[in-house]
Chain A
Amino acid sequence: MGVPVLYQVGGSAAVIAVMVAAAALMGFRTAARIDADALERLVAETEPDARVVDMFVAANGAAGLARLGDGRILAARVMGGDISTRLVQAKALRLRLTRDRLSVTFGDIGYPPLHFALKAAAPPDWIIRLAGEGASP
């Protein structure tokens, strides 16, 4: 790789840093928040005919799980100002429950594990049941 090419690559990296800094300085740093209403809306958008049976929302509003009438789970996570969802069969999830944290792992490299802090309250029974059925040790 010649010197001009290295200049080109270095210049690109510098320009990227400037543009990202400009975006941040202009206030383009937003964070969506997940609550029960947001989960209901996401389910309606994803599966218009589905019925929500149970929900579990992270205390910081960064993630949520909704159990549908047919047993499937809709997972939601905040991605900046947006929310990204996955609708999966419950058996496709791996839940790991400890005293202060619930981790949910998906079989999809594009959707890393979700983590829920459990400081304030214990998770609902359906989550404990789900973790018991499919949890990794």
Chain B
Amino acid sequence: MIVSEAPPAPFEIPPIVTYAIPAFVLLILAEMIYIRATGRGRYEARDSAGSLLMGFGNQIMGLLLGGVAVAGYYLVYHFRLATIPWAWWSLTLCFFGEDLAYYWFHRIAHERRWFWASHVIHHTSQHYNLTTALRQTWTGVLSLSWIFWLPLVWIGFPPEMVLMFSAISLVYQFWIHTETIGRMGPFEWVFNTPSHHRVHHATNPKYLDANYAGVLIIWDRLFGTFVAEDANDKPRYGVISNLGTFNPFRVATHEWIGIARDVAGARSLREALGYMFGPPGWSPDGSRKTSASIKAAWAARQAAPVAAE
């Protein structure tokens, strides 16, 4: 049993994600009807079933293992640098801090295969609609993805406050998974939007490894990972090697099994570590494709002189 040392919240924190589920359902049905009527966007029943089943599995895993991450938060909080109270200024700081932690979690989840093995699930649909938002990992707790938020509780933000903003971020990110909303003007300068996130889900070389934001796009602009959607380069969704199955168990585990096979065949510790913690696609001889090599090949093709007619 966890005995909280944190100052109590001055209000009852509602189960934010649970309360949002009816809205998720209604918005998905509304998006389906809109797409049926206008053709702006795509749905495929089996793909949506796959996404929703991945979300269902994520819910089950959260019930079974979510307590491990929460216990980790409280354990680190025990060794905090300060005790930060619930106040308007701490809530403001925690909002920005949580969003920054999300940015780094998300960026590293794309740049290091260990975390990618868990996060890749979210990217395995070749569709981009509101059901894609619910295509979530089953192995996030086991892969220790939650460690990226530990600095916040170590500084002294109450774990409940951090968890509250994580839930708000998750709910915020639901609506940006759609092709039905175009560009959004000045709102896009600061906030993550459907356009920004379409770029993030795209496999077009120029869009790879971009727009990791949760709520605020400012982090991508600050850290040099922002790419704007180009009307002349329509996003193609999925992963570099798209899956050939809708089976949720294969979807959830394929990259982990890939890591296990590669590590089993590694000829040295360096190779094993490279397969586990190198960029996705890393191989000792460079024979596989990484985002960097795909982008470099694409850039070289762009720079190549056009043959005279």
Q: Which residues of A contact B (CB under 8 A)?
A: 1, 5, 8-9, 12-13, 15-16, 18-20, 22-24, 26-30, 48, 77, 79-82, 84-86, 107-112, 114
Number of B interface residues at 8 Å Cβ cutoff, please give it.
42
**Cβ of A28 and Cβ of B244 under 8 Å apart?**
no
Q: Which residues of B contact A20 (CB under 8 A)?
A: 45, 48-49, 52
Is B56 positioned at the interface, with any CB of A under 8 Å from its CB?
Answer: yes
Q: Which residues of A contact B255 (CB under 8 A)?
A: 110
Is B68 positioned at the interface, with any CB of A under 8 Å from its CB?
Answer: no
**Known A16-B52, A22-B32, A79-B126: A112·B45 in contact at CB below 8 Å:** no
Q: Which of A1, A8, A20, A112: most chain B Cβ within 10 A?
A: A20
**Total A-B Cβ pairs within 8 A:** 108
**Cβ of B254 and Cβ of A110 under 8 Å apart?**
yes
Q: Which residues of A contact B18 (CB under 8 A)?
A: 8
CA distance A82 to B45 in the complex (A): 12
Instruction: Name the residue of chain B whose CB is nearest to the CB of A112.
Output: B245
A16-B49, A20-B49, A28-B48 given; name 12 further pairs at CB < 8 Å.
A19-B48, A20-B52, A23-B44, A29-B46, A79-B246, A81-B42, A86-B241, A107-B261, A108-B258, A110-B241, A111-B241, A111-B243
Q: Which residues of A contact B244 (CB under 8 A)?
A: 77, 79, 84, 86, 110-112, 114
Interface of B is mostly: helix
**Least distance between A83 CB and chain B CB atoms (Å):** 8
**Least distance between A135 CB and chain B CB atoms (Å):** 20
Instruction: Name the residue of chain B whose CB is nearest to the CB of A88.
Output: B241
Is B70 positioned at the interface, with any CB of A under 8 Å from its CB?
Answer: no
CA distance A24 to B49 in the complex (A): 10
Q: Which residues of A contact B42 (CB under 8 A)?
A: 81
**Cβ of A27 and Cβ of B36 under 8 Å apart?**
yes
**Least distance between A121 CB and chain B CB atoms (Å):** 25
Is B184 positioned at the interface, with any CB of A under 8 Å from its CB?
Answer: no
Is B290 positioned at the interface, with any CB of A under 8 Å from its CB?
Answer: no
CA distance A114 to B253 in the complex (A): 20
11 residue pairs A–B, Cβ–Cβ below 8 Å: A1-B63, A19-B29, A26-B32, A28-B32, A80-B45, A80-B46, A82-B126, A84-B243, A85-B242, A109-B250, A114-B244
**Cβ of B59 and Cβ of A9 under 8 Å apart?**
yes
**Cβ of B251 and Cβ of A110 under 8 Å apart?**
yes
**Cβ of B126 and Cβ of A19 under 8 Å apart?**
no
Is B9 positioned at the interface, with any CB of A under 8 Å from its CB?
Answer: no
Q: Which residues of A contact B49 (CB under 8 A)?
A: 16, 20, 23
CA distance A77 to B47 in the complex (A): 15
**Known A26-B36, A108-B254, A110-B254: A82·B44 in contact at CB below 8 Å:** yes
Is B16 positioned at the interface, with any CB of A under 8 Å from its CB?
Answer: no
**Cβ of B250 and Cβ of A79 under 8 Å apart?**
no
CA distance A9 to B62 in the complex (A): 11
**Cβ of B44 and Cβ of A29 under 8 Å apart?**
yes
**Cβ of A24 and Cβ of B52 under 8 Å apart?**
no
CA distance A23 to B43 in the complex (A): 7
Q: Which residues of B contact A30 (CB under 8 A)?
A: 44
**Least distance between B75 CB and chain A CB atoms (Å):** 24
Is B65 positioned at the interface, with any CB of A under 8 Å from its CB?
Answer: no
Is B296 positioned at the interface, with any CB of A under 8 Å from its CB?
Answer: no
CA distance A80 to B49 in the complex (A): 12
Contact with B45, one of A8, A15, A28, A110 (Cβ below 8 angstroms): A28
CA distance A133 to B35 in the complex (A): 49
Is B60 positioned at the interface, with any CB of A under 8 Å from its CB?
Answer: yes
Is B33 positioned at the interface, with any CB of A under 8 Å from its CB?
Answer: yes
Instruction: Name the residue of chain A whose CB is nearest to the CB of B36.
Output: A26
CA distance A114 to B245 in the complex (A): 11
CA distance A77 to B53 in the complex (A): 22
**Least distance between B206 CB and chain A CB atoms (Å):** 15
Q: Which of A9, A19, A86: most chain B Cβ within 10 A?
A: A19
**Cβ of A19 and Cβ of B131 under 8 Å apart?**
yes
Query: Which A-B residue pairs are the 5 nearest by beta carbons?
Result: A110-B254, A111-B244, A28-B43, A80-B44, A23-B45
